[in-house]
Structures are given as structure tokens and as C-alpha cells.
Structure 1
Amino acid sequence: MILAIDVGNTNIEIGCIQGDDIVFVERLHTDGTKSELEYAISIKTVLELYKIDRKTLDGGIISSVVPPLTNVIRRAAAKVTGREILVVGPGVKTGLDIRIDNPAQLGTGLVVGAVAGVEEYSCPLVIIDMGTATTFTVVNEKKQVVGGMIMPGVGIALDALISRTSQLPKISLDPPKKFIGSNTVECMKSGALYGNAVCLDGMIARVEEELGQKVTAVATGGMAKYIIPYCRTPIGLDDALLLKGLKIIYRRNA
């Protein structure tokens, strides 16, 4: 069994993988003020919740888009597991064929998601990661990463809207009663949920137009479960996609 951790700007995704099975997936809030010991306690607590004996862990792997936290969490995971922790980065084998202007610029999270996407789904493929930002990674029929798009995430867009207006309140993302809202909160919910869903539909349609063929679409990330149900384009929801990618990369470097 291995411990897999994906460090994002908003959340840290933690899971254990045994064979081909994801034993569990949990999320912690990303906090740059926490110490190595505090993160070690959090990781240990999650393992205990799922009754995972630390002695059964053979190793671990981390991907991170938050450089100041990468080594803090690597050391915390090593402290909990007593094992060496692999960090996805330069020199780590991924098996990806990256065809963008500067392959080194492809973010770690996008690399991990693409590794899993290519293995799990048919190509051409669009991988949508809905976290702090909403990112699109496009893989062609030859399983080559050819590029993508980046836009503000659902949460960031809502926070910007609320902070720049004096009369709009904070809202939850539970479904509006109808598409055309009849009060401020319902209007905001409709805009956030349906607006982002329509955006995903449109972005995928334009990818298909540029590639000249239909694509498979799969979404992951903390905000995906709120938006994907309102899309008209078939989009798979894979909450464990990044952990699957970490599993594959770990094996390729074992």
C-alpha cells in the first residue's frame, strides 16, 4: 500500500492505494502556516480514521503546486510512514509525450492528471481540473499533450464578485430552485452553477472544433461535483483521478 498526496492551492488531497484500488480519498485545507509536525498529525489522523496501519505502507508519493509546502509535507509524510517519499518533478519518469512550447512549464497537477487520463480513458481527451483555477488539458488521439486552457475557478470568481460589490452576499452552492432566479441569492446560484456548466460545454465544443473530432471529457477537483451535473456535454466525474496518476507515476519509478 502507498500513501499518495496531491497538494493544491486550496486543498490537499490524501489517499491510500492498494494494488489498483483507491482505499480512500480525503481533502485537507491547504494552510501555509502549518508546521511539519502539524501536517504529520493531520496525515496520521486521516490514516487512523480509515484504520490504516502505518506499518503496511510501502512508500509514498507527492505532487504539489505549492512550492513552499512541498518539502514540509514530504517530511511530514515521511515522519508518519517511516518511508522515503517520492516527489513528482524533474527527473521523475511520467511516460507522458508533452508537445507544448515548453514542456517544463506544464504544471505538476496537470502532468499527474494527464498520466491518469491517458491510462484510464480513450483519446482524444479533455481533462478538466476544477480547483482554485479551472484548467483544461487536451490530449490528442496519439496520446500527446498538445495544450490547454486556464480560467478562474468557481470559488475565485464568486469571491471576486462578492468582494467587488457592496450588495451581493456570500452564497452556498446548493442548486437554485429554477434557472431564472427571482431573488439575489437564487440569481447568484444560477450564474455560478449554470454559468460555469455552459462554459465547460462551450470550451469542449471549441476543442472538438479545433481538433476536428469528438473528445472524451473527464473532470476532477473539489468544485467538479457542483458543476458537472448541469453540463449538457457528457463529462465523466473522477474524484480520484490525481491519485490514480500518482499511483501510475510511483510504479514507473519504483
Structure 2
Amino acid sequence: MILTIDIGNTVITVGTVSKTGTHFVEHISTDTKKTDLEYAIAFRTILELYQIPSRPLTGSILSSVVPPLTAVINRALTKIIGKPALVVGPGVKTGLPIRIDNPAQLGSDMVVNAVAAAAEYPLPLILIDMGTATTLSVIDENGSYLGGAILPGAGIALDSLVNRTAQLPRISFEAPDTAIAKNTVDSMKCGIVYGNAAMLDGMIDRMEGELGRPAHAVATGDLAKAVIPHCTHPILYDEMLPMKGLYRIYMKNRTDG
């Protein structure tokens, strides 16, 4: 069993994975001010909540889009497990052919998700990750990463709308009963949920048009749960996708035989 860590701009996703599957996934807030000890305590507490002692953990792997935290959290993992984590980045084997202008520019989170999706779902595939940013990635029928799109995340868009207007309130991220809203709160819910659903449908249409054939669609990220049920395209939700990808990359790079 290994400990998997995905460091995002807003949340850090923590899980444990073994050959039998993903055992749990939890999220803690990303905080660049915390020390390695504070993160070690947070990770140890999560493991204790799930009754997983650190002794059976054979290793750890992390991906990060927050460079200042990468070394900090690696030190935290070393405190827990007794050795540094494998960090997804240059020199790490992924098995994913990347067909973009500069493969080194592809975020480690997008690599991790693509590795898992290409292995577990029919191809070609459009992969959606709705986190701080919303990303769409296209994987062709041969399992190659072709490219994609990056958009402002739904949460960022909502925060911007509230912070830059004088009268719009903070709202919960849920769909209203109708697309023709009758009040301000429902109008905002309509825009943020149905608007993002329509955006995903439109992007899938465009990407399928360029592929020249239909593609399966898979989504991950907390906000996707509220949006994809309102899409016209069938989109499968997989919360565990980052953990699955990290485990696969770990196994490709293991040196203990």
C-alpha cells in the first residue's frame, strides 16, 4: 500500500492505494504557510481516522502544481514513511506519449489523470478536471495525449462574480429548478451550473469534431459532481482518478522489484 498526494492550488488530495484498489480519498486545504511537521500531523491524522498505520505503507508519490509546497510536503512524507516520495516530473516514467508542442509544460496533475484514464476507459477520450481551473484533455485511440483546453474554474468564476459586484450574494453551488430563473440567487445558480454544463457540452462537440469521431468523456474534481448531471453528453464521474494515476506511475518507477 502506498500513500498518494496530489497538491492542487486550492486543495491537497490524500489517499492510499494498493493493488486491490483505492482505500480512501480525502481533501485538506492548500496552505503554503504550513510547515512540514504540520502537514505530517495532518496526514498522520487522516491515516489514523481510516485505521491505516504508517508501518504498512511501502512508499509514497506526489504530484504538485504548487512548487513552493513540493519540498515541504515531501519532507512531511519522509517523516511519516521514513523515505522521500516519488515526485511526478521530468525523468519519471509515465508511459504516456505526449503530442503537444512542449511536453514539459504539461502539468503533472494532467499527466496523472491522463495515465489513469487512458488505462481504464475506452479511447478516444475527453478528460475533464474541474478544480481551481477547469481543464479538458484529449487522448486519442492510441493512448496518446493530443492536447486540450484550460478555462477559469467554476469556483473562481463564482468568486469573481461576487467579489466584483456590489449586490450579488454568495450562493451554494447547486442547480436551480429551471433555466429561466425568477430571482437573483437562482439566476446565479443557473449561470454557474447550467452555464458550465453548456460550456462542457460545447467543448466536447468541438473536440469530437476535430477528432472526426465520438469520444468517451470522464470527469474528476469536486465541482464536476454538481455540473455533469446537467450536461447533454454522457460523462462518467471518477473521484479516484488522480489516485489511480499516481499508483500506476509509482508502479512503473518502483525499484524494489
The offset of 1:178, in angstroms, is: 2.2
Aligned-partner Cα distance in 1 for 2:147–2:179: 33
The offset of 1:98, in angstroms, is: 0.5
Q: Contact 2:32–2:69 at 8 Å: present in 1 too?
A: yes
Report 1:125-140 matches (<5 A). 125-140=125-140
Q: Deviations over 1:23-75 (max 9, x none)?
A: 00000111111111111110001000000011010000000000000010111
Q: Match for residue 119 of structure 1?
A: 119
Aligned-partner Cα distance in 2 for 1:231–1:16: 31
Q: Deviations over 1:153-202 (max 9, x none)?
A: 00100111111111111111133132221110011001111100011011
Report 1:42-61 matches (<5 A). 42-61=42-61
Q: Contact 2:9–2:132 at 8 Å: present in 1 too?
A: yes
Q: Match for residue 159 of structure 1?
A: 159
The offset of 1:137, in angstroms, is: 0.8
Q: Specify the SS of the correspondent of 1:55.
A: coil
Amino acid at match of 1:120: E
2:219 aligned with 1:219, yes or no? yes
Aligned-partner Cα distance in 2 for 1:72–1:84: 11
Q: Deviations over 1:61-99 (max 9, x none)?
A: 000000000010111111112233110011100001011
Q: Specify the SS of the correspondent of 1:54.
A: coil
Q: Match for residue 186 of structure 1?
A: 186
Q: Specify the SS of the correspondent of 2:55.
A: helix
Q: Contact 1:135–1:151 at 8 Å: present in 2 too?
A: yes
Q: Specify the SS of the correspondent of 1:94.
A: coil
Q: Deviations over 1:128-152 (max 9, x none)?
A: 0100000011111121111100000
Aligned length: 254
Q: Contact 1:58–1:83 at 8 Å: present in 2 too?
A: no
Unpaired runs of at least 5, structure 2: none
Structure 1 residue runs of 4+, over 4 Å off? none
Aligned-partner Cα distance in 2 for 1:221–1:176: 21
Q: Contact 1:162–1:168 at 8 Å: present in 2 too?
A: yes
Aligned-partner Cα distance in 1 for 2:239–2:6: 12
Q: Match for residue 27 of structure 2?
A: 27
Aligned-partner Cα distance in 2 for 1:169–1:176: 15
RMSD: 0.8
The offset of 1:20, in angstroms, is: 3.5
Report 1:81-120 matches (<5 A). 81-120=81-120
Unpaired runs of at least 5, structure 1: none
Aligned-partner Cα distance in 1 for 2:158–2:175: 15
The offset of 1:18, in angstroms, is: 1.9
Aligned-partner Cα distance in 2 for 1:104–1:20: 32
Q: Contact 2:219–2:236 at 8 Å: present in 1 too?
A: yes
The offset of 1:19, in angstroms, is: 1.2
Q: Contact 2:75–2:84 at 8 Å: present in 1 too?
A: no
Amino acid at match of 2:184: T
Q: Contact 2:181–2:187 at 8 Å: present in 1 too?
A: yes
Q: Match for residue 210 of structure 1?
A: 210
Q: Contact 2:175–2:194 at 8 Å: present in 1 too?
A: no
Report 1:133-152 matches (<5 A). 133-152=133-152
Amino acid at match of 1:130: M
Q: Specify the SS of the correspondent of 1:41.
A: helix
Query: In percent, how many aligned pairs have the same letter?
Result: 57
Q: Contact 1:2–1:59 at 8 Å: present in 2 too?
A: yes
Amino acid at match of 2:197: A
Q: Match for residue 235 of structure 1?
A: 235
Amino acid at match of 1:234: P
Q: Match for residue 3 of structure 1?
A: 3
Aligned-partner Cα distance in 2 for 1:35–1:169: 35
Amino acid at match of 2:51: K
